[in-house]
């Protein structure tokens, strides 16, 4: 099993009437911005371990590194049952987390993967003074929608709420941690067994029946009742003042997911709304590029955040 080269610490932080699990490396350094790493959908803060291990010693010693489990993922579970999650709550959570770890509106370097990248992009537009550098790993946003889709979307949301309460949307459980690791490898063919087994212990835990259960709330599977509005996203992008590095894998996960609905070309067009943005490709990698090529991701991130 993979052995972390730089062990982390965890702490539980009261945030917005819930307890947030936050993983940290290092200590605050005077005059240096914290490095905040936010994970994607159905992932956990521990997912960044391989990238942290790949950072140079000089950069690592300069930074306090912070990686929360988003609400409803990992060990950041709500105190009461929940049947759906609002995307805006991630922005509220991030704002409160930064108030704790970077008080006084101290700017941070923010790195987000996938869903976390989408949160980071919107937050950087809403709180531009808070972000010194922004790194977005495949936070593509979503296909464009039309207002006429709203009634159908709400109907789908209502149907899925019923299905969730009928226990028809439960997350799969596994008979062993090895089976969880195999599931992770099935999703990501580049993930070695050593890393998969380590991640499996962070991504799942035994439940009361002795089965290994994913540390995530099934309510995350319920569709967002609000449509993704490209014009609003572009307004956020245009309000970003920090330089942005958009990392993407050479394996086009966006095209695989959305087919003709949304393309890399359209994503790159959206990025043009950002005042300072460059794109970096990571070879031999898929959507989990921070697992597939942690050394390359770490180097790109480090070089970008050093300036």
- Which residue blocks in 102-149 are alpha helix, DSSP H? 115-126
CA distance 139 to 124: 13
pLDDT in tens, 131-186: 999 999 999 999 999 999 999 999 999 999 999 999 999 999 999 999 999 999 99
CA distance 133 to 111: 8
Three-class secondary structure assignment of 196-254: HHHHHHHHEEECCCCCEEECECHHHHCCCCCCCCHHHHHHHHHHCCCCEEEEEECCCHH
pLDDT bucket at 307, cuts 50 / 70 / 90: confident
Confidence check: pLDDT of 285 > 80: yes
The average pLDDT across 60-80 equals 96
Confidence check: pLDDT of 292 > 90: yes
Which of the 8 DSSP states describes residue 37? Answer: E
What is the dihedral angle through the alpha carbons of 53, 59, 62, 67, rounded to the nearest 10 degrees? -40
Q: Which of 229, 239, 228 is nearest to 273 (CA)?
A: 239
- Which residue blocks in the chain are alpha helix, DSSP H? 49-54, 57-62, 87-101, 115-126, 150-165, 177-187, 193-203, 230-239, 253-258, 264-271, 289-292, 294-305
pLDDT in tens, 213-222: 999 999 999 9
The average pLDDT across 55-68 equals 97
The average pLDDT across 76-98 equals 96
Phi and psi based region of residue 88 (left: phi greater than 0; alpha: psi -120 to 50; beta: remaining)? alpha
Query: In the predicted model, what is the mean pLDDT of the chain?
Result: 97
Confidence check: pLDDT of 52 > 80: yes
CA distance 129 to 241: 8
Confidence check: pLDDT of 56 > 90: yes
Find out whether 34 and 65 touch, Cβ atoms under 8 Å. yes
The average pLDDT across 203-222 equals 96
Confidence check: pLDDT of 296 > 80: yes
The average pLDDT across 189-208 equals 97
Gyration radius of the chain's alpha carbons: 19
pLDDT in tens, 127-139: 999 999 999 999 9
pTM, rounded to two decimals: 0.97
pLDDT bucket at 92, cuts 50 / 70 / 90: very high
């Amino acid at each position: 099993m993979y052995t972390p080269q730089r062990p982390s610490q965890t702490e539980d932080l009261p945030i917005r009437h819930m307890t947030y699990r936050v993983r940290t490396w290092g200590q605050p350094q005077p005059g240096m911005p914290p490095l905040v790493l936010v994970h994607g959908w159905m992932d956990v803060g521990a997912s960044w371990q391989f990238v942290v291990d790949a950072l140079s010693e000089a950069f690592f010693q300069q930074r306090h590194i912070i990686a929360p489990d988003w609400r409803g993922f990992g060990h950041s579970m709500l105190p009461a049952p929940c049947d759906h999650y609002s995307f805006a709550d991630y922005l509220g959570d991030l704002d409160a987390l930064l108030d704790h770890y970077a008080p006084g509106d101290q700017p941070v370097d923010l790195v987000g993967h996938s869903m976390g990248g989408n949160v980071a992009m919107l937050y950087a537009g809403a709180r531009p003074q808070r972000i010194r550098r922004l790194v977005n790993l495949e936070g593509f946003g979503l296909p464009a929608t039309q207002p006429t889709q709203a009634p159908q979307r709400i109907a789908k949301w209502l149907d899925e709420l019923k299905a969730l309460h009928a226990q028809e949307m439960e997350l799969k459980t596994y008979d062993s941690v090895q089976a969880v690791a195999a599931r992770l490898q099935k999703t990501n063919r580049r993930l070695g067994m050593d890393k998969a087994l380590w991640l499996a212990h962070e991504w799942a835990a035994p439940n009361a029946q002795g089965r290994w259960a994913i540390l995530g709330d099934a309510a995350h599977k319920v569709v967002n009742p609000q449509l993704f509005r490209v014009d609003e996203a572009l307004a956020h992008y245009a309000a970003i003042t920090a330089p942005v590095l958009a990392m993407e894998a050479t394996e086009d996960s966006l095209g695989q997911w959305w087919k003709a609905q949304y393309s890399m070309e359209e994503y790159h067009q959206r990025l043009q709304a950002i005042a300072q943005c460059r794109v970096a490709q990571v070879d031999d990698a898929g959507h989990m590029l921070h697992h597939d090529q942690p050394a390359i991701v770490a180097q790109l991130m480090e070089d970008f955040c050093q300036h």
